[in-house]
Amino acid sequence: MTTPSSRDLEQLSTYLDGQLSQSDRTRLEIRIKSDPALASALEELRQTRAFLRHTPQRRAPHNFTLTPKMAGIRPPVPRLVPVLSWASAAAMLLFIFTLGAGLVGQLSFGEAATMPAPNTFAGNSAAAPATAAPATIAPVVAAPAPMLPATAIVPSGGAANTPTPTEQASIMAVEQATPPAVSQAAQLQSAPKIQQKPANIWLFIWPALAVLLAVLALLVFWLNKRAFQRKNPHS
Amino acid sequence: MDESALILDAQHGDLQAFNTLVLAYQDVLYNTALRILNDDDQAADATQEAFLSAFRALNSYRGGSFRAWLLRTVTNACYAELRRKKRRPTTPLEPETADGEEVESPSWLADPHATPEESLDQAELEHAVQHCLQNLPEEFRAVVVLADIQGLDYSEVAIAVHKPLGTVKSRLARARLRLRACLQGFRELLPSAFRLEEESNL
């Protein structure tokens, strides 16, 4: 009778669970019959296993079910919502762009209002010096109300409202009026050149700002989405 | 209960289906954690953590024994808890008297459905097993708890502890041998019916 080796004991344990191969099992059974130490060790292992198998099972102290909050599940949202969330970013882009364009337009308009009037007026006076009314209006228009040339044409023309006594007189008036009109036009033509600089700057700044803000909005949205996906990989 | 269907639903995010599985397996996971950790509260925490991890990693389950897969999550949670406990040791679970003596048969281990005599037997048996388990290295403890207390077969234990079959066999044999010596003194605690059954097997 020899003390079983650790290899023998491992084989006995595996044999006890019926996990030995057929050949190993046959060999071991022959040895157990002839070696009381192996038989005794097997019996002790069997008792140990039986002891452990009779360990009382406790009931769980409470239910371990998960709440949606624990599982990090958000309430289901309609499929359209992700699309809408992207759309909101796109809308913001358009809104800022429109707003920017509108402001640029307003600035340009304010400027443009001063610009074309003298040009057309100068053109008119140059192309059609015989046209009495515009010609006579020209000095009046340019001087008091450069911002509102269109409206100024009708009421401001003191000469226009005043009935021209004769055609000749009006021609004379044109002849007299033309040089100041031309000079005025020249003055006004030079004026926009000075004012054109800030308008050009805004023309670049507003779209750039709009694009920058929109990109920022998209970036924030994307970062939020990624953070949520990391937090809730199954959502 | 169609387990496969529930697992599939749970993998698609159906929390209700997963909770049905939780209710089916919570006792197994809790008892495993309790035997490995020897602390009710820590076992409950590890079980909860295990179910949470299982839900998050459910898509990594690729078939086979779902019980073994779940037990792997709880074994991992227990190992993490044991590591944490080593870093920050706490007072032992066993109730103590005013003199600091450990109470031998704490009443809180009693099974309310057993007779007083059976309760005492069971409580002492449980206490004996728990006492001997605590003297085992944790990797041996997990294997013997899974195989002999929870009744998993070798392949399931291998999945649960994430070790090859040969390692499982070897660890189980060595754990049984160590426990054998410890449990010798408690043999009289075995239920009488069980003793008869054992004797008839001889």
Structural contact between residues A229 and A101, judged by C-beta atoms closer than 8 angstroms: no
User: Is the domain of B121 the same as that of B189?
Assistant: yes
The count of C-alpha atoms lying within 13 angstroms of the C-alpha of A215, restricted to the half-sphere facing its C-beta, is: 6
pLDDT per position as a tens digit, B157-169: 999 999 999 999 9
Question: In a 3-state reduction of DSSP, which class is residue B102?
Answer: strand
Q: B189 vs B105, B109, B122, B176, CA distance in Å?
A: 12, 15, 8, 18
Query: Phi/psi at B96 (nearest 5 deg)?
Result: -120, 155
Q: Which of A54-68, A145-159, B126-140 has the lowest mean pLDDT?
A: A145-159
Across A161-183, average pLDDT: 48
Q: What is the dihedral sign for C-alpha A105, A108, A110, A114?
A: negative
DSSP conformation letters of A44-113: HHHHHHHHHHTPPPPPPSS--PPPHHHHTPPPP--THHHHHHHHHHHHHHHHHHHHHHHHHHHHHHHHHH
With a pLDDT cut of 70, the percent of chain A lying above it is 48
Question: Which structural domain range is residue B19 located in?
Answer: 1-91
Taking CB atoms and an 8 Å limit, are B201 and A44 in contact across chains?
no
Is B98 a domain residue? no
Rg value, chain A, Cα? 49
CA distance A46 to B98: 40
Residue B124 pLDDT more than 50?
A: yes
- Return d(Cα A25, Cα A46) in angstroms, integer: 16
CATH of the domain at B84: 1.10.1740.10
Reported as a single tens digit per residue, the pLDDT across A58-89 is 999 999 999 988 888 776 655 555 665 666 67
pLDDT at residue A151 greater than cutoff 90: no
Q: Does A52 sit within 8 Å of B180, measured CB to CB?
A: no
Contact B95, B103 (CB under 8 A): yes
pLDDT above 60 for B98: no
Distances (CA, A) of B164 to A11, A65, A92, B134, B171: 16, 32, 58, 24, 11
B49 touches chain A (CB under 8 A): no
Q: How far is B103 from B73, CA to CA, in rounded Å?
A: 32
How many structural domains is chain B composed of? Answer: 2
Q: How many CB pairs under 8 A join A and B?
A: 128
Mean pLDDT of all residues in A143-170: 44
CB contact under 8 A, B15 and A73: yes
Same domain membership, residue B56 and residue B23: yes
Identify whether residues B119 and B202 lie together within a single domain. yes
Cross-chain residue pair B35–A55, CB shorter than 8 Å: yes
Taking CB atoms and an 8 Å limit, are B172 and A13 in contact across chains? yes
Among B91, B124, B147, the domain boundary falls at B91
Residue A26 burial (CB count, 10 A): 11
Which of B134, B180, B184, B198 has the most A C-beta neighbours within 10 Å, making it the best mutation to test the interface with A? B180
- B168 and B82 in a common domain: no
- List CB contacts (< 8 A) between B18 and chain A: 66, 71
pLDDT (0 to 100) of residue B55:
94
Write down the mean pLDDT value for chain A. Answer: 67
In the predicted model, what is the mean pLDDT of residues B81-89?
80
d(CA A93, CA A208): 11
The domain limits of chain A are: 6-53, 80-231
Provide the pLDDT for residue A165: 47
Cβ contacts (< 8 Å) between B179 and chain A: which residues?
48, 51-52
pLDDT (0 to 100) of residue B50: 95
pLDDT digits 0-9 by tens, B22-62: 999 999 999 999 999 999 999 999 999 999 999 999 999 98
Q: Which residue in B189, B165, B136, B140 sits closest to A50, CA to CA? A: B189
Tell me the pLDDT tens digit for each residue of B1-27. 689 999 999 999 899 999 999 999 999
Question: Do residues A44 and A36 make contact, with C-beta atoms less than 8 angstroms apart?
Answer: no
In this prediction, residue A80 carries a pLDDT of 55
Whether residue B96 is contained in a domain is answered as: no
Q: Which residues of A touch B44 (CB under 8 A)?
A: 60-62, 64
For residue B196, pLDDT beyond 70: no
pLDDT of residue A111: 54
Same domain as B114, residue B199: yes
